[in-house]
Chains A and B, each alone.
Chain A
Amino acid sequence: MKFTPKIWLFVILTFLSFLSLFVTVSPFGITFLQKGVLVSSVDKDSIVYEDGLRPDMVIVSINGNTVSNLDNYQELILPYTHLGENETIRTEIGVRGLDTPIIGLYGSELFDDVNVEKMPTSKLSTGLDLQGGARAFVRVKGNVTASDIDDVISVLDNRLNTYGLTDMSIYKIASEGDEILIGIEIAGSSPDELKSLISEQGHFEAKIGNETVFIGGDKDVTYVARSGEGVGVRECDSVSDGAFCNFAFTISLSPTAADKFANATKDLEIIGDYLSENITFYIDNVETSALRISSDLRGSAQTTISISGSGAGVDQQSAFVSAETEMKKLQTILITGSLPFDLEVVKIDRISPNLGENFTKRILLAGLIAFIGVMMFVTLRYKKVKLSLFLIFGSFAEILMTLGIACLINWNLDLSSIAGIIAAIGTGIDSEIIILDESVSSNSNKNESIKQRIKRALFMITTAFSTTFVALLPLTGLLGFLGIGAASAGMLKGFAVTTIIGICIGVFISRPAFVDITKQLKGDDK
């Protein structure tokens, strides 16, 4: 078979999708279908936490025995559950990416302190319905209007996004009695986690003495530098029990806030190079850090201020990460300001992931059986095994590419997205049957050249594509600016977006390749 450019494009994109789904490139090397178990949480007061085990680390061995999966891990951890109160075992926990294992004396509490989960087999994140997670309904306290609630949602959205949570959705719902609640769903999180994320109001305050100089939000803080000179984690130092890193970034203050700074500092004494009072930062009324003020700033209306802080960890790498997280959090609060209102959690539920794993297996099995059925039918119809193999392979590749794109854009795969993939594959097979009937099948007009017939087939496919495309567009929420589909929650959006991705891949990538393959097979027959 001759590989035309279109076939090459198809093959290369399929391969790239495969890579994007299953292969992880990290500073520690390239890994495929990683072994080990993923640490989902570690009790912060535990010894093993002190020794350096953190969430998101991958445990690859315990006492020299390889941990390849969850069952294996549970087997190795079993002896610890039988230990008496003060008994411990000297344990070496091998962690991917760490040169030396974590070594310590651990007792039966190890089992409770460390929660692990299965390594994800692909990098695709699954939605709440497949993975489980937590969902909260919150009420905005006080007398609020609909636009107030929109403000709260945008601040929440902004904040959760900056914390790095992509698999979440926030929406408005009207409860009985027309009261508007906010629903927040985060896949893969626990109710406690979710609660801690939303109950923090994020009220940032900078005080000199007892006087508030400025607060978070764009009224006082006009600009927060998130990159550029003097921004980022700067020096790290090792200390006896670990390491810490400092971060700094600059912010611009509004003229009013700058005047307040001048007022607050003008009567302070100068002690050495600094003023007698520090500038102290509070988040939700808890002091987080204090900075000395250089003596030459006394009484001046400062519009640019450098904010700094630090993060600590067991080694420099974890200290760096923790400083970076702290910085991001502080920047977010300074940008978004505090939530304009206090929130009250009405209901918080854990969504069980119970069905998750078996369910995915079932879907895969259903898909496989459906494919075999389709393949048999197509083989019977066209009496060409080669063709039906290409057809099925093409559909597999399309699924792979759709998932690859979902992975790239951090799309959350949920049930309705799976329905979308099914719809796209179904119409894809339809299109390929049109191509086959127009070009290969004997009942087509012999007077026409194959080029003409293929052209007509492609015309039909593009027509069907355009029609389906516009039919799905109102459901994607992309027309939200027209007020269409914006409030239709995640479900319809998931379906429409995945279907559109799928049919686009079909019509632009895999159909052209299929046409080239069919032409060659047709050529073989002559």
Chain B
Amino acid sequence: MKFGDWYNKNYKKTLILPAVLIVLSVIYIAIFYSQTGSFFYMDVSLTGGTSFSIQTNYSQSDVEKELSKNFDDFTVKAVSDGSGNQIQLIITAPESESDAIQGGIEEILGFKLSDENSSIEFTSSGLSKTFLDQLLIAIILAFFWMGCVVFIIFGKGGKIKFWLIVANLLFAVFLGNFFMQINPIISWIIFGIFSVSLIFVYLKKSVPSFAVILSAFSNILMTLAVVDLMGLRLSGAGIVSFLMLIGYSVDTDTMLITKLSENNKAINHTIFESFKTGLTMTCTSIIAVVLALFVVYPYGTVLNQIFIVLSIGLTFDLFNTWVTNTAILKWYFSKKREDKK
């Protein structure tokens, strides 16, 4: 088993690759954040603004060209049915310019916008602020709670499990009621104490808990970096699809951990066996998602975003599970077995 030998010797070095990718993603997202002031491009449903859906045959490029004479900040999107016939145009504009843009559109199309020929949606930017705060808190909590559950299932020691649950609940109370609502510096200090100590306990007492968090975190992080690179404007549904990744990433991870935590088989053999199962699992999902993307793509709806994000994320999941986590877990379980001997 040539590859097996190579892997036994070099598996710790393979961790350099994910480490580099994580660092690059973090740097890219940090630069992105410093330039745009947010973690990703938001579409009008998140930034706040007005979106006009108009039933017209007027072509997208014509409207774009005409509007750009007077306005800068807007998007025009055409929606077609399955056979390529245009059903409607969706024009989005920031709230401050919505009235002016509406006037502009009416001028170009030559008719007044009414309930009969169009629909106008309005979101305020305030909605997205509380929404994003809540989302961030919910995701942070999701990560730590996932780790906690994995610890309870695979870790040892009744007392520490009890205190871990208490700490995680306190963390939730803090995040929900005090984080960023009290003095920001104190907020961040308390947040730091909680997260560092929880991660420390996970790392020290049960590496699998840490591995599950790391895998879900890096899936989301790397996918976000690619989405930013692509310049995709995310809507609420796009954000939801990042959350869908959590579920998919957990599945393969727990399978690998369960198999490795049994003592009776050679580690490499178990990894290979799990890899076959895991590959089937992730490939099934990728096939389903990519096929679905092809079918819904012409519609230009938010479903596109969901499926694009999922296909990127699932590909990263393959990498993060079978390169990153496998090496970390091999390291951990080899050491554990040695200690037992």
Contacts and interface: CB of A to CB of B under 8 A. Distances in A.
B134 A487 contact: yes
Contact of B237 (A352, A419, A456): A419
Interface in B264-305: 265, 273, 276-277, 280-281, 283-285, 287-289, 291-292, 294-296, 299, 301-303
A349 B120 contact: yes
A7 B224 CA distance: 42
25 contacts: A176-B125, A358-B81, A359-B301, A377-B284, A415-B303, A426-B247, A430-B251, A430-B284, A434-B281, A437-B276, A460-B254, A463-B149, A463-B257, A467-B149, A470-B149, A471-B247, A474-B139, A482-B176, A483-B175, A484-B138, A488-B135, A492-B135, A495-B244, A499-B244, A503-B247
Contacts of A456: 258, 262
A176 B128 CA distance: 12
Contacts of A460: 254-255, 258-259
A25 interface: no
Interface stretch (B32-40, B104-112, B140-148): B140-148
Given A355-B87, A488-B130, 9 more contacts: A173-B130, A349-B120, A366-B303, A373-B291, A470-B142, A470-B149, A471-B143, A471-B216, A482-B173
B247 A350 contact: no
B307 to A, nearest CB: 8
A398 to B, nearest CB: 14
B43 interface: no
Interface of B: 53, 55, 79, 81-82, 87-88, 95, 115, 118-122, 124-127, 129-131, 134-135, 137-139, 141-143, 145-146, 148-150, 153, 172-173, 175-177, 212, 216, 236-237, 239-241, 243-244, 246-248, 250-252, 254-255, 257-259, 262, 265, 273, 276-277, 280-281, 283-285, 287-289, 291-292, 294-296, 299, 301-303, 306
A468 B281 contact: no
A471 B146 contact: yes
A174 B124 contact: yes
Given A373-B287, A479-B172, A482-B177, A176 B281 contact: no
A434 B88 contact: no
A23 interface: no
A431 B251 contact: yes
Nearest to A468: B247
A349 B119 contact: yes
Given A176-B95, A467-B254, A430 B285 contact: yes
A419 B288 contact: no
A359 B251 CA distance: 30
Interface in A89-123: none
B145 A473 contact: yes
A481 to B, nearest CB: 9
Contact of A354 (B119, B129, B273, B284): B119
Interface string A426-456: 1101110110010001011100000000001
Given A467-B250, A491-B237, A445 B265 contact: yes
Contacts of B131: 487-489, 491
Contact of A437 (B262, B280, B288): B280
A192 B39 CA distance: 39
Contact of B126 (A175, A431, A496): A175
B121 A135 contact: yes
A445 B259 CA distance: 12
Contacts of A495: 240, 243-244
A521 interface: no
A427 B327 CA distance: 24
A3 interface: no
Contacts of B287: 370, 373-374, 377
Residue from the set A358, A466, A470, A471 with the largest chain B CB neighbour count within 10 Å: A471
A362 interface: yes
Contact of A176 (B122, B126, B243): B126
Given A173-B127, A351-B119, A467-B146, A485 B295 contact: no
A359 B87 contact: no
A510 B115 CA distance: 46
A456 B256 CA distance: 12
The 5 closest A-B pairs by CB, nearest first: A483-B176, A174-B126, A352-B119, A370-B288, A488-B134
A491 B295 CA distance: 24
Contact of A369 (B143, B236, B258, B295): B295
A426 B248 contact: yes
Contacts of B276: 437, 443
Contacts of B125: 176
Interface string A114-157: 00000000000000000010010100000000000000000000
Contacts of B216: 471
A416 interface: yes
